[in-house]
């Protein structure tokens, strides 16, 4: 059973998922910050792994992860952080990572360590289900969620694969491009969320949809939750942590969580019947895969 899906459903499909990079600005503070956003109202935590070639991250997250790498971040810190966070909060902890660090560590070994630390699963922005057989098998063995991305440019076949391969939710990319807070969340997100629901319904299943990229205010959270099951916030939280430490990130998370309190259409498979594919979506943009990986990539990452 998916802890992430359970948490989203327990929220009435009005989930707030907060992203923070592990180890920023140091390991102890990153643990405190993650616990703080859960206590402030985040339904789940997305813990990012610093990576040397973050092609899909915006400038705020890139700067945070680069400083973490420069101080000598080790992957062992990830598992230490996950264990420390899950010992203090019941919020599911998902790890967002580019695929190359997992591949180099060993897919099954990584899954085993993550499960032992209490992690809920992985979000893999540059791994597609079609190329994720090793990860899907490891996740099944260790009872971990696997979250794949769908973008506005995704074909129906790619959305079908994301729905079939994901457990927890489908990461619904709100816009094409890199991460970062925006004044307006791309209108394509609503059409994409409807397409995902429609494709899931046509396959006789359901898919929880959480929207990321560009969300930074309670009003945007509230808007996203009129058509999706969760809102993912990243850059705004990382900026707050960098500028004001744990108190600032706790305050912002509490403010964002206020956007989950209004009534709205919680997840229902019946919405899918009326959904239609997005028209005029741009052609997919495919960044180069990480060194040593053998998968294709679709544009999108944590918010």
pLDDT tens digits along 140-169? 999 999 999 999 999 999 999 999 999 999
Strand, coil or helix: 99 = helix
- State pLDDT tens for residues 51-60: 876 556 678 8
Domain residue spans in the chain?
3-274
CA-CA distances (angstroms) from residue 7 to 16, 96, 103, 118, 202?
A: 10, 18, 29, 15, 25
Q: What is the pLDDT of residue 175?
A: 66
Question: What is this structure's pTM?
Answer: 0.83
Q: Which of 115, 109, 118 is nearest to 31 (CA)?
A: 118
165-200 pLDDT per residue, tens: 999 999 999 764 444 444 445 678 999 999 999 999
Q: Does an H or E element contain 145, and which?
A: strand 145-147
Q: What is the CATH number of domain 3-274?
A: 3.20.20.70
| Catalytic residue list | 46, 57
């Amino acid at each position: 059973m998916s802890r992430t899906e359970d948490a989203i459903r327990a929220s009435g499909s009005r989930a707030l998922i907060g992203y923070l990079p592990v180890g920023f600005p140091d390991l102890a503070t990153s643990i405190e910050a993650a616990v703080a956003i859960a206590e402030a109202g985040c339904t789940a935590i997305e813990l990012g792994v610093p990576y040397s070639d973050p092609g899909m991250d915006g400038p705020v997250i890139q700067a945070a992860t680069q400083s973490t790498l420069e101080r000598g971040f080790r992957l062992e810190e990830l598992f230490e952080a996950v264990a420390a966070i899950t010992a203090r909060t019941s919020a599911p902890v998902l790890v967002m990572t580019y695929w190359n660090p997992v591949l180099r560590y060993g897919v099954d070994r990584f899954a085993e360590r993550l499960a032992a630390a209490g992690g809920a699963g992985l979000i893999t922005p540059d791994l597609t289900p079609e190329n994720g057989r090793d990860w899907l098998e490891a996740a099944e063995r260790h009872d971990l969620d696997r979250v794949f991305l769908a973008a506005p440019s995704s074909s129906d076949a790619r959305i079908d694969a994301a729905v079939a391969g994901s457990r927890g939710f489908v990461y619904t990319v709100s816009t094409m491009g890199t991460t970062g807070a925006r004044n307006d969340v791309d209108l394509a997100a609503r059409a994409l969320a409807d397409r995902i629901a429609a494709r899931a319904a046509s396959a006789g299943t359901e898919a929880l949809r959480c929207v990321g990229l560009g969300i930074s205010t309670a009003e945007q959270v509230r808007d996203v939750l009129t058509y999706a099951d969760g809102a993912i916030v990243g850059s705004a939280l990382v900026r707050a942590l960098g500028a004001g430490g744990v108190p600032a990130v706790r305050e912002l998370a509490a403010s964002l969580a206020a956007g989950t309190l209004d009534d709205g259409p919680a997840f229902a498979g019946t919405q899918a019947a009326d959904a239609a594919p997005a028209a005029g979506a741009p052609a997919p943009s495919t960044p180069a895969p990480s060194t040593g990986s053998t998968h294709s990539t679709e544009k999108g990452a944590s918010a």
